[in-house]
Amino acid sequence: MDYQPQDILDENIVAELLDVGDAEFLQDLFETYIQDAHEKIDGMTKALATQDANTLGKLAHTFKGASGNIGAIKLSQIAEKLQHMGHQDQLEGVEAVVADLIELYQLVEQAMKVKMQELQ
């Protein structure tokens, strides 16, 4: 998919996070998010492989909230779609949604790393 910069990381939310804390706070938040995201994505990939819709839905739910909190709104929306599919035990088409989530996550992680470099 083609994503616009505002689809990747909402600069307004990032600015609000900087207002709440400081550069070090934001860097810690981003680093924690990245570590947690890798675990959640691995879990969702495994849940997909084992056709475990319930686990997929639960992991997508927590990923949705964390993504929204750091300003990855579009990523949060994709995770919400996965959450609903998992809770409805609907695995048809899930593979494509997980692929979209992974593709956008990689862009989000890259944008977060650039932002962390800027703050140093």
In this structure, what token pair is assigned to residue 3?
């994503």
Q: What is the pTM of this model?
A: 0.93
In the DSSP assignment, the letter for residue 109 is H
Note the CATH number of domain 5-119.
Answer: 1.20.120.160
Tens of pLDDT along 13-72? 999 999 998 999 999 999 999 999 999 999 999 999 999 999 999 999 999 999 999 999
3-state SS string over 63-95?
Answer: HHHHHHHHCCHHHHHHHHHHHHHHHCCCCCCHH
Domain spans of the chain?
Answer: 5-119
